[in-house]
Amino acid sequence: MTGKICGTGSFAPSFTMDNHDIAKLVETSDEWIQERTGVVRRHIIREETTVSMAAEAGKRALDNAGMSAKEIDLILVSTISSNVVLPCAACEVQKELGAVHATCFDLSAACTGFVLAYNTAMAYLASGVYQNALIIGSESLSNLTNWEDRGTCILFGDGAGAAVVRACDQKAYIPVTHSDGARGAALSCTSRYDKSGLAGNVDPQEWMEDRYLMQMDGRAVFKFAVKSVPQAVEELLEKNQVEKEEIAWYILHQANRRIVESVAKRLGESIEKFPMNLQEYGNTSSASIPILLDEMNRKGLLKRGQKIVLAGFGAGLTWGASLLEW
């Protein structure tokens, strides 16, 4: 027993900021951002929240799968930017959708989060514990972005993507996942609650201190990504005895166009196999892979039987690649 994606959905806030808007906040330019990252604009929450976007993306995935929320027995939300600490975002999504039979929990692995949520759902489906899983990546990174730091604020955006995974009898593939906590400082964000103590008395003056916002050594993360992702993909193909020629699409975490291009080059694969939508959304962490998957699905680009590689990388450090058959 394994699982198959039978529906996808996504949601992005209607408010957008283009590179010219960012250039009003920090010393940068549209030209620099496009050349170094590929990003043109990003969607930013206004009334939306991580939970509301997750619920909408989940609803759209259920509609796409032709399933009712009551058929779902597992909801996994991957997020690092939930607007709720308790109850978890997945339980809030359950409430919104009326998925009364689902077991719900969140998963925190930043930009590798959706790949790990997919693997977790597949393991549960394979073992027969659950039959229908709704997996979601949803992020409001704008809440964690330091809008005065040009090294990070040019990159990130908000949004959510979701997939319904259903138990079925077909070939199971083994995923590849890695973590290296020793290199975690390259991309970090300290909890606002870390020194609140029993009284919860964070000084409001300190609330927006840099360390409560995302901090990144961009060059270090870039180097890590362009080396680790091709290695993980090679390992994945080797483990599953699959040749590169058999892969129709590589759906990579949408962090930076130059990272995607470099991974394609190192793998010796055509860039045509590496779809990108980061120009429209920026880097939406765990939402980027399912948003792209949904766009491709709705455009009719994904054909039954095609082999697809999902690959994520980011804070932790964490990285991994999974193989699926559409």
| 314 contributes a contact to ligand UT7 by CB under 6 A | yes
CB-based contacts of 115, cutoff 8 Å, min separation 6: 175, 177, 289, 310, 311, 312, 320, 321, 322
- 240 catalytic per annotation: no
For ligand UT7, which residue of 21, 219, 238, 265 counts as binding (CB under 6 A)?
219
- 119 catalytic per annotation: no
Catalytic residue among 111, 146, 153, 189: 111
- 283 catalytic per annotation: yes
Catalytic residue among 19, 91, 119, 253: 253
Residue nearest to ligand UT7 (CB): 218
* Footprint (CB under 6 A) of ligand UT7, residues 245-304: 255-256, 259, 283
For ligand UT7, which residue of 4, 36, 183, 244 counts as binding (CB under 6 A)?
36
HSE at residue 307, side-chain half, CA atoms within 13 A, is 17
CB-based contacts of 113, cutoff 8 Å, min separation 6: 78, 79, 80, 107, 137, 285, 286, 312
Which residue type is seen at 285?
A: S
| 178 contributes a contact to ligand UT7 by CB under 6 A | no
Parallel, antiparallel, or unpaired: how do β-strands 74-78 and 132-140 relate?
parallel
Q: Which two tokens stand for residue 245?
A: 């020629």
Cα–Cα distance for residue pair 200/287, rounded to 1 Å = 31
Q: Which two tokens stand for residue 61?
A: 């995935």
| 34 contributes a contact to ligand UT7 by CB under 6 A | no
For ligand UT7, which residue of 118, 124, 222, 249 counts as binding (CB under 6 A)?
222
Task: Please give the positions annotated as active site.
Answer: 111, 253, 283
Question: Where along the sequence are the contacts to ligand UT7 (CB under 6 A)?
Answer: 28, 32, 36-37, 111, 150-151, 154-155, 187, 218-219, 221-222, 225, 255-256, 259, 283, 314
